[in-house]
A and B are shown apart, each in its own frame.
Chain A
Protein backbone atom coordinates (compact mmCIF):
# COMPACT_ATOMS: atom_id res chain seq x y z
CA UNK A 1 0.00 0.00 0.00
CA UNK A 2 1.34 3.40 -0.81
CA UNK A 3 2.80 5.34 2.12
CA UNK A 4 0.53 8.36 1.66
CA UNK A 5 -2.57 6.21 2.00
CA UNK A 6 -1.11 4.32 4.93
CA UNK A 7 -0.40 7.54 6.79
CA UNK A 8 -3.81 8.96 5.89
CA UNK A 9 -5.80 5.94 7.10
CA UNK A 10 -3.98 5.79 10.43
CA UNK A 11 -4.18 9.57 10.86
CA UNK A 12 -7.96 9.52 10.33
CA UNK A 13 -8.34 6.67 12.83
CA UNK A 14 -6.19 8.39 15.45
CA UNK A 15 -8.12 11.67 15.03
CA UNK A 16 -11.50 9.89 15.12
CA UNK A 17 -10.58 8.35 18.45
CA UNK A 18 -8.41 11.08 20.03
CA UNK A 19 -10.74 14.03 19.40
CA UNK A 20 -13.81 12.69 21.28
CA UNK A 21 -11.58 11.61 24.18
CA UNK A 22 -9.81 14.98 24.27
CA UNK A 23 -13.12 16.85 24.04
CA UNK A 24 -14.53 14.83 26.94
CA UNK A 25 -11.36 15.48 28.93
CA UNK A 26 -12.17 19.21 28.99
CA UNK A 27 -15.86 18.75 29.86
CA UNK A 28 -16.97 21.10 32.66
CA UNK A 29 -18.98 18.23 34.17
CA UNK A 30 -15.75 16.55 35.28
CA UNK A 31 -15.35 19.18 38.03
CA UNK A 32 -18.39 17.77 39.82
CA UNK A 33 -17.59 14.07 39.45
CA UNK A 34 -15.62 11.61 41.58
CA UNK A 35 -12.69 9.63 40.13
CA UNK A 36 -14.88 6.51 39.93
CA UNK A 37 -17.57 8.34 37.96
CA UNK A 38 -14.97 9.93 35.65
CA UNK A 39 -13.32 6.54 35.07
CA UNK A 40 -16.74 5.05 34.27
CA UNK A 41 -17.39 7.74 31.66
CA UNK A 42 -14.03 7.38 29.96
CA UNK A 43 -14.27 3.58 29.97
CA UNK A 44 -17.51 4.03 28.02
CA UNK A 45 -15.90 6.43 25.52
CA UNK A 46 -12.93 4.09 25.05
CA UNK A 47 -15.31 1.16 24.54
CA UNK A 48 -17.04 3.15 21.79
CA UNK A 49 -13.66 3.90 20.18
CA UNK A 50 -12.80 0.19 20.27
CA UNK A 51 -16.11 -0.54 18.50
CA UNK A 52 -14.70 1.47 15.61
CA UNK A 53 -11.42 -0.45 15.59
CA UNK A 54 -13.00 -3.94 15.70
CA UNK A 55 -14.60 -4.04 12.22
CA UNK A 56 -11.54 -2.32 10.70
CA UNK A 57 -9.32 -5.11 12.07
CA UNK A 58 -11.57 -7.96 10.98
CA UNK A 59 -11.93 -6.45 7.51
CA UNK A 60 -8.16 -5.98 7.19
CA UNK A 61 -8.65 -2.32 6.35
CA UNK A 62 -5.81 -1.02 8.52
CA UNK A 63 -2.53 -0.72 6.61
CA UNK A 64 0.09 -3.08 8.02
CA UNK A 65 -2.57 -5.24 9.64
CA UNK A 66 -3.94 -7.60 6.97
CA UNK A 67 -6.78 -9.97 7.93
CA UNK A 68 -4.89 -12.82 9.68
CA UNK A 69 -2.89 -10.46 11.92
CA UNK A 70 -5.85 -8.11 12.22
CA UNK A 71 -8.00 -11.01 13.44
CA UNK A 72 -5.56 -11.82 16.24
CA UNK A 73 -5.57 -8.20 17.37
CA UNK A 74 -9.39 -8.20 17.01
CA UNK A 75 -9.48 -10.93 19.70
CA UNK A 76 -7.23 -8.97 22.05
CA UNK A 77 -9.21 -5.76 21.52
CA UNK A 78 -12.40 -7.75 22.12
CA UNK A 79 -11.12 -8.74 25.56
CA UNK A 80 -10.14 -5.12 26.28
CA UNK A 81 -13.64 -4.05 25.18
CA UNK A 82 -15.27 -6.40 27.71
CA UNK A 83 -12.97 -5.06 30.44
CA UNK A 84 -13.84 -1.46 29.46
CA UNK A 85 -17.57 -2.23 29.70
CA UNK A 86 -16.99 -3.87 33.12
CA UNK A 87 -15.14 -0.76 34.36
CA UNK A 88 -17.94 1.41 32.94
CA UNK A 89 -20.63 -0.46 34.89
CA UNK A 90 -18.52 -0.85 38.05
CA UNK A 91 -17.69 2.87 38.16
CA UNK A 92 -21.35 3.79 37.78
CA UNK A 93 -22.25 1.27 40.50
CA UNK A 94 -19.80 2.94 42.91
CA UNK A 95 -21.25 6.35 42.02
CA UNK A 96 -24.93 5.47 42.48
CA UNK A 97 -25.90 1.83 43.14
CA UNK A 98 -29.70 2.35 42.93
CA UNK A 99 -29.44 3.89 39.45
CA UNK A 100 -27.36 0.94 38.21
CA UNK A 101 -29.72 -1.61 39.78
CA UNK A 102 -32.64 0.13 38.00
CA UNK A 103 -30.72 -0.02 34.73
CA UNK A 104 -29.79 -3.69 35.04
CA UNK A 105 -33.41 -4.58 35.87
CA UNK A 106 -34.71 -2.49 32.93
CA UNK A 107 -36.60 -0.35 35.45
CA UNK A 108 -34.69 2.87 34.85
CA UNK A 109 -36.49 6.16 34.11
CA UNK A 110 -33.88 6.84 31.42
CA UNK A 111 -34.39 4.92 28.14
CA UNK A 112 -30.69 5.06 27.27
CA UNK A 113 -29.90 2.72 30.17
CA UNK A 114 -31.91 -0.07 28.52
CA UNK A 115 -29.92 0.31 25.30
CA UNK A 116 -26.68 0.25 27.27
CA UNK A 117 -27.64 -2.88 29.19
CA UNK A 118 -28.70 -4.69 25.99
CA UNK A 119 -25.35 -3.74 24.42
CA UNK A 120 -23.56 -5.03 27.54
CA UNK A 121 -25.22 -8.46 27.31
CA UNK A 122 -24.65 -8.63 23.55
CA UNK A 123 -20.94 -7.79 23.86
CA UNK A 124 -20.67 -10.42 26.61
CA UNK A 125 -22.34 -12.94 24.31
CA UNK A 126 -20.06 -12.08 21.39
CA UNK A 127 -17.02 -12.44 23.66
CA UNK A 128 -18.18 -15.79 25.06
CA UNK A 129 -18.70 -17.07 21.52
CA UNK A 130 -15.18 -15.97 20.63
CA UNK A 131 -13.56 -17.37 23.77
CA UNK A 132 -15.15 -20.81 23.41
CA UNK A 133 -15.19 -20.96 19.64
CA UNK A 134 -13.51 -24.40 19.48
CA UNK A 135 -15.42 -25.89 22.38
CA UNK A 136 -18.79 -24.92 20.92
CA UNK A 137 -18.01 -26.95 17.75
CA UNK A 138 -20.33 -24.78 15.71
CA UNK A 139 -20.21 -24.71 11.95
CA UNK A 140 -18.05 -21.79 10.84
CA UNK A 141 -20.97 -20.11 9.11
CA UNK A 142 -23.29 -20.52 12.08
CA UNK A 143 -20.62 -19.13 14.41
CA UNK A 144 -20.05 -16.18 12.10
CA UNK A 145 -23.76 -15.41 11.87
CA UNK A 146 -24.10 -15.56 15.66
CA UNK A 147 -21.01 -13.48 16.41
CA UNK A 148 -21.82 -10.88 13.73
CA UNK A 149 -25.47 -10.61 14.84
CA UNK A 150 -24.38 -9.95 18.42
CA UNK A 151 -21.78 -7.44 17.18
CA UNK A 152 -24.49 -5.65 15.17
CA UNK A 153 -26.67 -5.44 18.30
CA UNK A 154 -23.69 -4.07 20.24
CA UNK A 155 -23.08 -1.38 17.61
CA UNK A 156 -26.69 -0.23 17.25
CA UNK A 157 -27.49 -0.28 20.97
CA UNK A 158 -24.21 1.38 22.00
CA UNK A 159 -24.70 4.19 19.49
CA UNK A 160 -28.30 4.87 20.59
CA UNK A 161 -27.17 4.63 24.24
CA UNK A 162 -24.41 7.20 23.70
CA UNK A 163 -26.48 9.61 21.61
CA UNK A 164 -29.29 9.81 24.20
CA UNK A 165 -26.93 10.68 27.05
CA UNK A 166 -26.12 14.17 28.22
CA UNK A 167 -22.70 13.57 29.72
CA UNK A 168 -19.06 14.40 29.37
CA UNK A 169 -18.85 13.68 25.61
CA UNK A 170 -18.97 16.74 23.36
CA UNK A 171 -21.93 16.41 20.99
CA UNK A 172 -20.28 16.86 17.58
CA UNK A 173 -17.35 14.54 18.24
CA UNK A 174 -19.76 12.01 19.77
CA UNK A 175 -22.00 12.02 16.68
CA UNK A 176 -18.95 11.76 14.41
CA UNK A 177 -17.50 8.78 16.30
CA UNK A 178 -20.89 7.04 16.39
CA UNK A 179 -21.34 7.59 12.64
CA UNK A 180 -17.94 6.08 11.91
CA UNK A 181 -18.70 3.09 14.16
CA UNK A 182 -21.90 2.37 12.22
CA UNK A 183 -20.26 2.88 8.81
CA UNK A 184 -17.32 0.61 9.66
CA UNK A 185 -19.67 -2.13 10.88
CA UNK A 186 -21.81 -1.90 7.74
CA UNK A 187 -18.75 -1.95 5.46
CA UNK A 188 -17.25 -5.07 6.98
CA UNK A 189 -20.65 -6.80 6.99
CA UNK A 190 -21.06 -6.09 3.28
CA UNK A 191 -17.43 -6.79 2.26
CA UNK A 192 -17.19 -10.11 4.05
CA UNK A 193 -20.63 -11.13 2.76
CA UNK A 194 -21.53 -12.43 6.20
CA UNK A 195 -25.15 -12.90 5.26
CA UNK A 196 -24.60 -13.83 1.62
CA UNK A 197 -26.64 -16.82 0.51
CA UNK A 198 -24.31 -19.66 -0.39
CA UNK A 199 -25.06 -22.90 -2.15
Chain B
Protein backbone atom coordinates (compact mmCIF):
# COMPACT_ATOMS: atom_id res chain seq x y z
CA UNK B 1 0.00 0.00 0.00
CA UNK B 2 1.43 3.31 -1.00
CA UNK B 3 1.14 6.17 1.46
CA UNK B 4 0.49 9.44 -0.29
CA UNK B 5 1.00 12.09 2.30
CA UNK B 6 0.49 14.73 -0.30
CA UNK B 7 -2.10 13.77 -2.88
CA UNK B 8 -3.24 16.34 -5.38
CA UNK B 9 -6.42 16.87 -3.35
CA UNK B 10 -4.72 17.49 0.00
CA UNK B 11 -2.27 19.82 -1.66
CA UNK B 12 -5.08 21.79 -3.25
CA UNK B 13 -7.05 21.96 0.00
CA UNK B 14 -4.04 22.88 2.14
CA UNK B 15 -2.81 25.37 -0.43
CA UNK B 16 -6.26 26.91 -0.67
CA UNK B 17 -6.56 27.15 3.10
CA UNK B 18 -3.14 28.79 3.44
CA UNK B 19 -3.93 31.20 0.63
CA UNK B 20 -7.26 32.08 2.22
CA UNK B 21 -5.71 32.66 5.65
CA UNK B 22 -2.86 34.69 4.23
CA UNK B 23 -5.11 36.69 1.98
CA UNK B 24 -7.63 37.20 4.79
CA UNK B 25 -4.88 38.23 7.19
CA UNK B 26 -3.60 40.73 4.69
CA UNK B 27 -7.03 42.27 4.43
CA UNK B 28 -7.72 42.68 8.17
CA UNK B 29 -6.22 46.18 8.52
CA UNK B 30 -8.01 47.33 5.39
CA UNK B 31 -11.36 46.06 6.75
CA UNK B 32 -10.82 47.77 10.11
CA UNK B 33 -10.06 51.04 8.37
CA UNK B 34 -13.37 50.82 6.56
CA UNK B 35 -15.55 49.25 9.29
CA UNK B 36 -19.07 49.77 7.98
CA UNK B 37 -21.76 51.25 10.25
CA UNK B 38 -24.50 48.88 11.46
CA UNK B 39 -27.73 49.54 9.57
CA UNK B 40 -31.00 49.64 11.49
CA UNK B 41 -32.96 46.38 11.27
CA UNK B 42 -36.52 46.08 9.99
CA UNK B 43 -38.98 46.48 12.84
CA UNK B 44 -36.16 47.51 15.17
CA UNK B 45 -37.91 50.64 16.38
CA UNK B 46 -41.29 48.96 17.05
CA UNK B 47 -42.69 49.92 20.47
CA UNK B 48 -39.70 52.23 21.09
CA UNK B 49 -40.21 54.66 23.97
CA UNK B 50 -37.56 57.44 23.80
CA UNK B 51 -35.36 58.26 26.77
CA UNK B 52 -35.57 55.00 28.72
CA UNK B 53 -33.92 55.62 32.10
CA UNK B 54 -30.49 54.18 32.91
CA UNK B 55 -31.14 51.28 35.29
CA UNK B 56 -29.19 48.71 37.30
CA UNK B 57 -31.35 46.06 35.71
CA UNK B 58 -34.78 45.79 34.11
CA UNK B 59 -37.29 44.14 36.45
CA UNK B 60 -36.20 41.00 38.27
CA UNK B 61 -33.46 40.06 35.80
CA UNK B 62 -32.24 36.56 34.96
CA UNK B 63 -31.45 37.27 31.30
CA UNK B 64 -28.47 39.17 29.89
CA UNK B 65 -28.41 41.53 26.95
CA UNK B 66 -24.83 42.16 25.90
CA UNK B 67 -22.89 43.75 23.08
CA UNK B 68 -20.32 46.26 21.95
CA UNK B 69 -20.38 49.76 20.54
CA UNK B 70 -17.65 50.81 18.13
CA UNK B 71 -16.99 53.70 15.81
CA UNK B 72 -17.42 53.19 12.09
CA UNK B 73 -14.22 53.41 10.09
CA UNK B 74 -11.46 52.69 12.63
CA UNK B 75 -13.53 50.37 14.85
CA UNK B 76 -12.48 52.16 18.04
CA UNK B 77 -14.53 51.09 21.10
CA UNK B 78 -16.84 53.85 22.30
CA UNK B 79 -17.12 54.34 26.06
CA UNK B 80 -20.07 55.92 27.88
CA UNK B 81 -22.58 55.40 25.09
CA UNK B 82 -26.22 54.95 26.12
CA UNK B 83 -27.92 51.84 24.74
CA UNK B 84 -31.68 51.46 25.24
CA UNK B 85 -33.14 47.97 25.53
CA UNK B 86 -36.67 46.55 25.55
CA UNK B 87 -38.46 43.27 24.76
CA UNK B 88 -41.51 41.11 25.42
CA UNK B 89 -40.44 39.28 28.59
CA UNK B 90 -41.92 37.21 31.37
CA UNK B 91 -42.63 40.52 33.12
CA UNK B 92 -44.27 42.59 30.41
CA UNK B 93 -44.91 43.66 26.84
CA UNK B 94 -42.64 45.64 24.57
CA UNK B 95 -45.02 48.58 24.94
CA UNK B 96 -44.90 48.57 28.78
CA UNK B 97 -42.61 51.33 30.12
CA UNK B 98 -41.30 48.92 32.78
CA UNK B 99 -39.98 46.64 30.00
CA UNK B 100 -37.61 49.44 28.93
CA UNK B 101 -34.22 50.37 30.35
CA UNK B 102 -30.87 51.77 29.30
CA UNK B 103 -27.23 51.20 30.17
CA UNK B 104 -23.84 52.77 29.35
CA UNK B 105 -20.87 51.16 27.64
CA UNK B 106 -17.66 50.68 29.65
CA UNK B 107 -14.15 51.78 28.60
CA UNK B 108 -13.95 48.80 26.20
CA UNK B 109 -17.17 49.83 24.48
CA UNK B 110 -19.01 46.87 26.01
CA UNK B 111 -22.45 46.92 27.58
CA UNK B 112 -24.32 44.38 29.68
CA UNK B 113 -27.79 44.77 31.12
CA UNK B 114 -29.74 42.22 33.12
CA UNK B 115 -33.43 41.96 32.29
CA UNK B 116 -36.29 39.44 32.59
CA UNK B 117 -36.31 36.35 30.34
CA UNK B 118 -37.33 37.19 26.76
CA UNK B 119 -40.25 35.04 25.55
CA UNK B 120 -41.35 34.48 21.94
CA UNK B 121 -43.70 37.20 20.74
CA UNK B 122 -44.95 37.84 17.23
CA UNK B 123 -43.53 34.52 16.18
CA UNK B 124 -39.91 34.92 17.31
CA UNK B 125 -38.04 35.35 20.59
CA UNK B 126 -36.36 38.70 19.96
CA UNK B 127 -35.06 41.81 21.66
CA UNK B 128 -34.88 45.48 20.71
CA UNK B 129 -31.94 47.82 21.16
CA UNK B 130 -31.51 51.44 20.25
CA UNK B 131 -28.68 53.91 20.05
CA UNK B 132 -30.49 57.25 19.98
CA UNK B 133 -28.27 59.99 21.39
CA UNK B 134 -26.24 62.92 20.08
CA UNK B 135 -22.92 62.32 18.40
CA UNK B 136 -23.77 59.37 16.19
CA UNK B 137 -26.54 58.40 13.83
CA UNK B 138 -29.51 56.57 15.38
CA UNK B 139 -29.53 52.77 15.04
CA UNK B 140 -32.36 50.37 15.96
CA UNK B 141 -31.56 46.65 16.23
CA UNK B 142 -33.91 43.68 16.55
CA UNK B 143 -31.77 40.56 17.18
CA UNK B 144 -33.50 37.16 17.23
CA UNK B 145 -32.55 34.47 19.75
CA UNK B 146 -31.34 31.21 18.13
CA UNK B 147 -33.41 29.38 20.77
CA UNK B 148 -36.12 30.68 23.08
CA UNK B 149 -34.38 28.76 25.90
CA UNK B 150 -31.31 31.04 25.64
CA UNK B 151 -30.68 33.24 28.68
CA UNK B 152 -28.64 35.86 26.87
CA UNK B 153 -28.65 37.76 23.60
CA UNK B 154 -25.95 39.79 21.92
CA UNK B 155 -26.08 42.78 19.61
CA UNK B 156 -23.17 44.87 18.35
CA UNK B 157 -23.30 48.47 17.19
CA UNK B 158 -20.96 50.20 14.76
CA UNK B 159 -21.94 53.87 14.81
CA UNK B 160 -21.40 56.54 12.19
CA UNK B 161 -20.49 59.97 13.58
CA UNK B 162 -23.05 62.65 12.75
Whole-angstrom CA separation of A197 from B9 in the bound complex: 56
The residue of chain B having its C-beta at the shortest distance from the C-beta of A34 within the complex is B93
Asked if B122 lies at the interface with its beta carbon under 8 angstroms from chain A, I say: yes
The residue of chain B having its C-beta at the shortest distance from the C-beta of A164 within the complex is B123
Inter-chain contact A96/B142, CB cutoff 8 Å: no
Contacts of B94 in A (CB 8 A): 96
Inter-chain contact B43/A108, CB cutoff 8 Å: yes
Whole-angstrom CA separation of A133 from B121 in the bound complex: 39
Max chain A C-beta neighbours (<10 A), residue from B47, B90, B123: B123
**Complex interface bits, B19-62 against A, C-beta within 8 A gives 1, otherwise 0:** 00000000000000000000001111111000000000000000
**Complex interface bits, B81-99 against A, C-beta within 8 A gives 1, otherwise 0:** 0000000111001110000
Asked if A149 lies at the interface with its beta carbon under 8 angstroms from chain B, I say: no
Contacts of B75 in A (CB 8 A): none
Asked if A98 lies at the interface with its beta carbon under 8 angstroms from chain B, I say: yes
**Complex interface bits, A99-139 against B, C-beta within 8 A gives 1, otherwise 0:** 10010000111101100000000000000000000000000
Asked if A66 lies at the interface with its beta carbon under 8 angstroms from chain B, I say: no
Inter-chain contact B41/A109, CB cutoff 8 Å: yes
Contacts of A108 in B (CB 8 A): 42-43
Inter-chain contact A167/B123, CB cutoff 8 Å: yes
Contacts of A31 in B (CB 8 A): 90
**Complex interface bits, A160-187 against B, C-beta within 8 A gives 1, otherwise 0:** 0000111100000000000000000000
Asked if B151 lies at the interface with its beta carbon under 8 angstroms from chain A, I say: no
Asked if B101 lies at the interface with its beta carbon under 8 angstroms from chain A, I say: no
Minimum Cβ distance to chain A for residue B59 (Å) = 12
17 further A-B pairs in the complex, CB-CB below 8 A; given A99-B46, A109-B142: A31-B90, A32-B90, A32-B119, A96-B46, A96-B95, A98-B45, A98-B47, A99-B43, A102-B42, A107-B42, A107-B43, A108-B42, A109-B43, A112-B123, A164-B123, A166-B124, A166-B148
Which chain A residues have a beta carbon within 8 Å of chain B's beta carbons? 29, 31-32, 34, 92, 95-96, 98-99, 102, 107-110, 112-113, 164-167
